[in-house]
Structure 1
Amino acid sequence: MNGLVEKMKLVRVQGTLPQLNDFLDACCMDGRFDLEPATRYMSDSLGYAALNEENPYPATRDQIETMAKEAGVELHKEQRHTDPPDEEAKAYLSDLLEQIDDLCAERQGLLDQQKLCEDGIAQYSHFLNLKVNVDEILDCQHVKVRFGFLPTEGYNKLMSNYADDPYILFVECTQTKTGYWGIYLTPREKALETDGIFSMLYFEPVHVPGAAGSPAEIIEHFKENLEVVKKSVDDVNARIAALWHDHEAKVQMLYDTVRYYAAMYDLRRMAAVKGSHFFCVGWVPAPDVEEIAGKARAVKDLRVTVDGPEAAGKMTPPTKLKNPWWSRPFEFFVEMYGLPAYGETDVTGFVALTFTVLFGMMFGDVGQGIVLALFSTFMWKVKHNDLFHLMIPCGISSTIFGLVYGSFFGYEDALDPLYHAIGMAGKPVSVMDSITGILMVAVYIGVVLVLAAMVLNMYTHARHKEWGEFIFSPNGLVGVITYLCGVDLASAYMGAFTFLPQVVAAIGMVAGLVLLLFAELLAPMVEGKPWKPAGGMGNYLMQSVFELLETVLSYLSNTISFLRVGAFVIVHASMMMVVFTLAGTPNNMLVVILGNIVVICLEALLSAIQGIRLEFYEMFSRCYKGGGRKFTAFNIKKA
């Protein structure tokens, strides 16, 4: 359920500058060697300094990418390369880019004409009922004409307030559901006043391209021009494609080459140099270190040293998560909270299981769960977003819990034939008839998950042989015993299930609280470390009392927080009851469908937020610190 972050090895490489590129090419281009600034790992007194060089290749790389973007083609990213481009190659690229720029400029001019024609057709189509020549009415010396749209409300006010005004004439051309397309005419000396009136009536003026003839004739003219322009655009696109086809192989090779050397120069900056010697350092996953070190040693005159993380001093290794396919999407949540520090337990598997179960419990509906799973699958295929990926198992979990609740798109009795067919009297759980039981189950789920988080914390301390924290931490062995005894006493008080005699539970809880009170004193003693309270024993006891009170309150609040899970189960069922109330009898299917859509969107969001909150605040806070930094080895194929 949980795993470890990938083990790392510290690799140091020393050699002379002529071998630096060979080393980087052999070891640092495939995403397995996380180079770090070497000066961080060296004393200033040794005289090494960072290798600062101007990188001459990004400009050429960007030039080729601009060229490909203008040509509308996609460049491939390969690791192959040739010798660095010389001045002849740069001149060749500049000439080719100029040719493509000229063709693109020609195409852009045609596209502007195409848009002008399309806009003209769209604008004049509103005025087809106008049977006069547009150029004639626009050229009138004494009459001002404006084309536009008048909302129905404005049109009604115009008819009621200005119908008798001899200086205002509105000619309707096309009527829509929201208003009228048309023109208004007014004497030029009255234009300013009339414009103000129509502005108050929310008249929306539109610009119509100047042309001769009636709107119908103008539209026909625009259509003829549009066909000519489109053919010209296709011709230019064909010329660009042909030009690119003729040069594609050479340009692609140049692109691979400049990408390679641009990356090489960026990696060279990680090296520390002194005279003609360089020093590089970085982290390699343990399974790959033998191969990487072997490649480095194959480069003549290189000295390679492989050490464990302890050799890095104060520098900590980067974190590389390693999870199976079923839990990998949930790395999204772990990274959101903070990557585990190197050596800390990776909780991705724990999150994958607990979040999926909690979400499904809160969002239990067979039909809605299937919709959520299918929609998330589609969006993940389209967007490749981890959030949609992890919602796929959540949708499946919702479907499973929907079978428990007997809910299918909110219909509580739709699955009864299924239950009867397998010999059951009815659905396993009727939500609205089991409110108290659901809330109690939610609390007990919280107890189990809080205990699981504590066990993960103990596991992490045991791996690092931190036996003091393993035993006396509030999330260690003493904390587990104290929490279990407290849960048993609370269950007995409420008349629920108990698993210990009450006297034993009371003694265990009191003893646990006493041990937690002196945990900071006892933990170092277990590990054989001396400890003396700062500020004296009195100050220590006062501080420990407040910390113990905070620990007890956290036990209580973390457990009670899981009531929200049960509450959301009830809320989900209640929202569907509201939908069916609004749908009436017999059900208005449109209301039922829209209601289900609203509930799916709203409840999925709320259930996800609640699940994340429980993970971060009620569980992560007990077993996980985070604060790790990501393993970021360069990979030229993905750069």
Structure 2
Amino acid sequence: IYDNLDTIFIKCDEDDRYIWGIYFVPVHEAQRIHAVYSAMHFEKIFVPDQYDGTAKAAYTALEAQYKKTIADLDANKAARKAFFRKNASDIVSCKHTLSQFSRNFDIRKLAACTHGDNKGEAAVDYKPKEPFYILCGWMTEKDAKAFQNDISGDSRIFCLIDENEQEDAHKTPPTKLKNPKLFKPFEMYTKMYGLPAYGEMDPTWFIAITYSFIFGAMFGDAGQGLVLLIGGYLLYRFKHIDLAGIISCAGIFSTFFGFMFGSVFGFEDIIEPVWLRPMDAMMNVPFIGKLNTVFIIAIGFGMGIILLCMIFNIMNSLKAKDTEKVWFDTNSVAGLVFYGSAVIVIALFMTGHKLPGGIVLCIMFILPLLVMFLKEPLTNLVEKKPAAFEGGVGMFIVQGFFEMFEVLLSYFSNTLSFVRIGAYAVSHAAMMQVVLMLAGAENGSPNWVVIVLGNIFVCGLEGLIVGIQVLRLEYYEMFSRFYKGSGRKFEPFRSDAEAK
């Protein structure tokens, strides 16, 4: 074991999980060496007092008794069945007790153990006192309070709760998602990106609302939306498939936008649109001319989403006490002022209103860009750190220039990405027109087989494509602005079902 320990260990048996053995120690060294073996996770096996003689004699007697019992059971199967029927309740009770002991043993293996203090006792009379086990772990606040109430009347159990929320790399709490049942299926998308770190905003509710809304706008059909709603709900209800629950929620908004667009299984002459028809609605845009209305609305919606994500980033950064991410980053206060100013100016220009003066525009645009350009030295200044330009001032300016160019390009490209919402709304209507044309609906006697098969094809193919495109918008245009997903999963020692 160790060169300076007076002990001999003899291995008796071994498998892939355990090693059985026996060790010998001098009496005056027993306490110290017992502690060493305990530290190596050896568990003592206490031989019951009912066995006499040598170990070999006890083993031989037990083996003979075991063989006799097996032979008696094999000789009389009817008696064996009667025995099990008679003692069924005791057997089940024993199984439950053994399972409980097994769980307790598994917990004990994770605990630090002390055998108490034996000072003042004669060495020859050494007997280890009752072990004291120490467990450290994470519990939800609700479970921790319930546990404290459960042990309040037991003087042998102590529970200390560390509520210090200061940052500590060795004490980073795990994450346990907690969302309403309606949003539960969308936790799948959150986990695919990464669990939120402790203290970071859980974006499940956000992705649940935005994903369902955007999917509905891109796949607006009242008939097909109802199919997605009902089919997804039935699969989620009986098969518990998270993706089916997501499809069901998306089907609600598909049905809603189907009524807004006046589309039922591709037919646009059954109901009048509450809002507009994607393929027909046009509007005049300055310097561009006529453009589809849903494209303009999609870009405006995307601008609002980007601004909201910037606000989320500021909130998360405030919790993390990250100065740069709060004030000087692309998605910080500086980025919010710059992009928000751009949104306001574009809105004023398109509606024909007068633009702000040159000085105001300079403050709205140039000042935030300058702050983002100098984010590193400004952060060091606020945090009272020495200003350092890696590679020199010249390299810092060149690098900052290209970073600003990339920032402006990303603002523009991220905004244009939301055009796909309008594009797929128009695409869906166009595909259904092709299906109706192939079915001969214009002649007044459509081929219903073609219509049914066409609806199934469009619903399956375009539904899959739209689902992927919406998820792309969520991850690249939204999550990347405010969400890190660097948390680790809270894994309980046993599930609620096992606890019951």
Fold-level similarity (TM above 0.5): yes
Q: Distance in 2 between matches of 1:317 and 1:279?
A: 19
Match of 1:36 in 2: none
Whole-angstrom CA distance in 2 between matches of 1:313 and 1:412: 59
Q: How big is the shift at 1:599?
A: 1.2
Q: Number of aligned pairs?
A: 412
1:265 and 2:120 correspond: no
- 1:242 CA displacement: 11
Does the 8 A contact of 1:260 with 1:636 survive in 2? no
How big is each residue's C-alpha offset from its partner over 1:421-475, in whole Å with a ceiling of 9 and x where there is no partner?
Answer: xxxxx54211111261111111111111111110101111223444443121211
Separation in 2 of the partners of 1:602 and 1:323? 31
Aligned to 2:280: 433
User: Could you say which residue in structure 1 is the equivalent of 2:26?
Assistant: none
**SS of equivalent to 1:340:** coil
Cα distance between partner residues in 2 of 1:361 and 1:627: 31
1:613 aligns with 2:472: yes
Alpha-carbon distance between aligned partners in 2 of 1:362 and 1:335, rounded to the nearest angstrom: 25
- The one-character-per-residue Cα deviations of 1:152-189 (angstroms, maximum 9, x if unpaired) are xxxxxxxxxxxxxxxxxxxxxxxxxxxxxxxxxxxxxx
Q: Say whether 1:413 aligns with 2:269.
A: yes
User: Residue 94 and residue 257 in structure 1: after superposition, are their counterparts in 2 closer, same or farther (change >3 A)?
Assistant: farther
Residue 280 of structure 2 is aligned to residue 450 of structure 1: no
State the alpha-carbon separation in 1 of the partners of residues 357 and 492 from structure 2.
Answer: 57
Aligned to 2:14: none
Q: Does residue 1:279 correspond to 2:134, yes or no?
A: yes
Cα distance in structure 2, aligned partners of 1:385 and 1:451: 33
Measure how far apart 1:306 and its partner are.
Answer: 1.3
TM-score (norm 2): 0.73
How much has 1:549 moved relative to structure 2?
2.3
Match of 1:290 among 142, 145, 161: 145
SS in 2 for 1:273: strand
Alpha-carbon separation, structure 1, partners of 2:224 and 2:107: 50
Instruction: Report 1:29-178 matches (<5 A).
Output: 49=39, 51=41
Structure 1 residues 251 and 364, CA gap change in structure 2 (3 angstroms):
farther
Q: What residue is the counterpart of 2:497 in the other structure? A: 638
The 2-side partners of 1:522 and 1:568 are apart by: 43
- Considering fraction of residues, name the structure with more strand: 1
2:171 alignment counterpart: 315
Question: 1:498 deviation in Å?
Answer: 6.7
- For 1:562-577, list aligned pairs within 5 A: 562-577=418-433
Q: Is residue 261 of structure 2 the alignment partner of residue 402 of structure 1?
A: no
Partners of 1:413 and 1:242 lie apart in 2 by 75
* Separation of aligned partners in 2, 1:632 and 1:321: 11
Shift of 1:484: 2.1
Partner SS for 2:159: strand
Quick check: 1:553 aligned with 2:412? Answer: no
Confirm or deny: 8 A CA contact 1:330 1:348 kept in the other structure.
Answer: yes
With over 3 angstroms needed to count, the CA separation of the structure-2 counterparts of 1:413 and 1:505, relative to structure 1, is farther
Q: Offset at 1:299?
A: 4.0
Question: CA separation in 1, counterparts of 2:353 and 2:37?
Answer: 69
Post-superposition shift, 1:278?
A: 3.2
Moved more, 590-599 or 327-336: 327-336
Against the structure 1 CA distance between its residues 450 and 381, is the aligned structure 2 distance closer, same or farther, given a 3 Å change threshold? same
Q: Is the 8 A contact 1:364 1:405 kept in 2?
A: yes
- Match of residue 593 from structure 1: 452
* Aligned ranges 1:478-627 → 2 under 5 Å: 478-489=334-345, 495=350, 501=356, 503=358, 504-584=360-440, 585=443, 586-627=445-486
Q: CA deviation at 1:288?
A: 3.3
Amino acid at match of 1:266: D
The match for 2:48 is none
Contact 2:175 2:197 (8 Å CA) reproduced:
yes
SS of the residue 1:306 aligns to: coil
RMSD, aligned CA: 3.6
Shift of 1:259: 3.3
Report the residue type matching 1:305 in the other structure.
L
Q: Are the counterparts in 1 of residues 108 and 133 from structure 2 also a CA contact under 8 Å? A: no
Larger radius of gyration: 1
The answer as to whether partners of 1:454 and 1:480 remain within 8 angstroms in 2 is yes
Q: Which amino acid aligns with 1:256?
A: H
Contact 1:458-1:476 within 8 A present in 2 as well: yes
Distance 2:86 2:422 in 1: 66
- Structure 1 position 368 matched with structure 2 position 227: no
Q: How many Å separate the matches in 1 of 2:416 and 2:253?
A: 23
Structure-2 separation of matches of 1:254 and 1:395 = 51
Pick 1 or 2: higher relative contact order, CA cutoff 8 A, min separation 6. 1
Note the residue ranges of structure 2 that are not aligned, 5 or more in a row. 1-35, 46-61, 116-130, 283-291
**Deviation at residue 554 of structure 1 after TM alignment:** 1.8
Counterparts of residues 343-382 of structure 1 (less than 5 Å): 343-382=199-238
1:625 offset after TM fit, Å? 0.1
Distance in structure 2 (CA, Å) of the matches to 1:295 and 1:439: 60
Check the 8 A contact 2:334/2:372 in 1, yes or no.
Answer: yes
CA distance in 2, matches of 1:556, 1:604: 28
Q: Whole-Å Cα distance in 1 between the matches of residues 41 and 277 of structure 2?
A: 70
Q: How far off its partner does 1:294 sit?
A: 4.0
Return the letter of the residue paired with 1:434: A
Evaluate the alpha carbon distance shift between residue 463 and residue 395 of structure 1 in structure 2; reply closer, same or farther with a 3 A threshold: same
